[in-house]
Amino acid sequence: MASGPVATNGAEPIVVVDDLHVVYRVFGAGGDKGTAATALMRVIKRQRRPSVREVHAIRGISFVINHGDAVGIIGRNGSGKSTLLQAIAGLLPPEQGCVYTSGQAALLGVNAALLDDLTGERNVVLGCLAMGMTPQETKERFQSIVDFSGVGSFIDYPMRTYSTGMAQRLRFSIASAKHHEILMIDEALATGDANFRAKSHGRIVQLRADAGTVFLVSHSLTEIEASCNRVIWLERGKIVRQGYDVPAIIDAYLEATGGEPRQRDKPEHNDHGADH
C-alpha cells in the first residue's frame, strides 16, 4: 500500500524507537536493617540510600514499526516488555534515546488500575474523560462500553470488589472505546474468559483494519502467533531477535527457554485462538 506520501518501500513508520534506555527507581528495596540508627549513620557518612535501587530495565533498543503492524513482544518475566510499552506510551520517561510516535499511544495493562474505591460506572466516565472525550461523547458511548465489558449489574459496585478478569474486561472496554492509532495491550486479555477473548480478538482485528497499530505483550504464544505479523524477543532489556518471521522466532525462543517445540501441522492445536 503506497498510501503514505513519502513512503520509500511501501511502508510508513508509525513508531520509531531510537537507542532507548529506561531507568526507573525502586524505593524500599532491601539492603538495610531499616532502623533509625542505620538511617542516621547513612546521613552522617553521606551514603546514598541503599533502599533506593536503580533498575536499568531497557538497555539500548532500536526498531521501526509501520502502519498496520501487529507486534507481539515476547520474553521471560522481567525482560522489560511492560517497561518498553510504558516508554512508547510516554508514561515512563527515557533516560537516554527517544521514542517517536505519530500520536498518543493507548496502553492497556494488568496494572492499569483506575480508581479502586469508585464504582465501575464512575471508572468508565472518568476513564473516558481522561482520554479526552467530551461529557456528551462519554454519555453516548457509556452503554456500549458497559455492554462490551459484560460486567452486568456489577457496574454499580466499587471496582475493588471485581474479580481480576472482570476488572480487565472493563479496562479493555474503556480503552478500546476510543479509536487509537496505536493500541498496546499488556497481558490484559490473559484473565478474560474464552468468550471475552474471542470478542477482544475481534476488536484487535478491527483496529488493525482501521490502519491502527497494535502491540501485544503475552505469554500465550498461540495468541501472538494468531494475532501478530511481527514479533520482538526481549531479554534483559535488549532485543534478541525481531522480524516478520513469527513462527521461526517463536521456535527459537522456545528452544532457548527450554519450552516444548510447537506443533503447527494440526489445524486445532489449542483451546483458543485457533479459528482466526
Partner 1 sequence: MRERSRDQGGPGTLTDDLVIPEVDPSSLADEPLADLAARHGLRPSAIRPGVFAYARQLWERRHFIVSFATARNVAMYTEARLGQLWQVLTPLLNAAVYYLIFGIILDTSRGVPNFLAFLITGIFIFNFTQRAFITTSRVMSDSLPLIRALPFPRACLPIGYVLIELEQLVMSMIVLTVIVLVTGEPLTWYWLLALPALALQALFNVGMGLSMARVGAGADDFSQLLPFLIRTWLYFSGVMFSIQTIGSLRHHHTLTHLLQINPAAVYIGLVRNSILQTQRIGWPGSKPYNAANCALYHTGKKPYLEYSAYCHGTVSMNGLWLWGIGWAIVAVVVGFVFFWQAETRYGRG
Residue numbers 202-261 binding partner 1 by CB under 8 A: 235-243, 252, 256-257
Contacts with partner 1 in 142-171 (CB under 8 A)? 158
Nearer to partner 1, 200 or 273 (CB): 200
d(CA 21, CA 18): 9
Helices (H) and strands (E) in the chain — how many of each?
Answer: 8, 9
Nearer to partner 1, 75 or 273 (CB): 75
Query: Does residue 25 bind partner 1 (CB under 8 A)?
Result: yes
Nearer to partner 1, 141 or 273 (CB): 141
CB of 129 to partner 1, least distance (A): 4
Query: Does residue 44 bind partner 1 (CB under 8 A)?
Result: no
Nearer to partner 1, 139 or 269 (CB): 139
Residue 48: which residues within 8 A CB-CB, separation 6 or more?
none
CB of 182 to partner 1, least distance (A): 9
Nearest residue to 243 via CA among 37, 22, 71: 71
Binding mask 90-129 for partner 1 (x = CB under 8 A): xxxxx---xxxxx-xx-x-x-xxxxx-xx---x--xxx-x
CB of 169 to partner 1, least distance (A): 16
Nearest residue to 157 via CA among 111, 200, 116: 116
Identify residue 187 by its one-letter amino acid code. Answer: E
Nearest residue to 276 via CA among 231, 242, 228: 228
Nearest residue to 250 via CA among 262, 258, 239: 262
Query: Does residue 135 bind partner 1 (CB under 8 A)?
Result: yes
Contact present, 206 and 233 (Cβ < 8 Å): no
d(CA 13, CA 101): 9
The number of residues that bind partner 1 (CB under 8 A) is 75
CB of 167 to partner 1, least distance (A): 12
Site of grid cell 547513612:
42
Binding mask 46-85 for partner 1 (x = CB under 8 A): -------xxxxx----xxx-----------xxxxx-----
d(CA 48, CA 52): 8
Q: Which of 4, 191, 198, 222 binds partner 1 (CB under 8 A)?
A: 4
Segment lying near partner 1 (by CB under 8 A), choices 5-13, 139-147, 188-196, 198-206? 5-13
Rg (CA), the chain: 21
CB of 30 to partner 1, least distance (A): 12
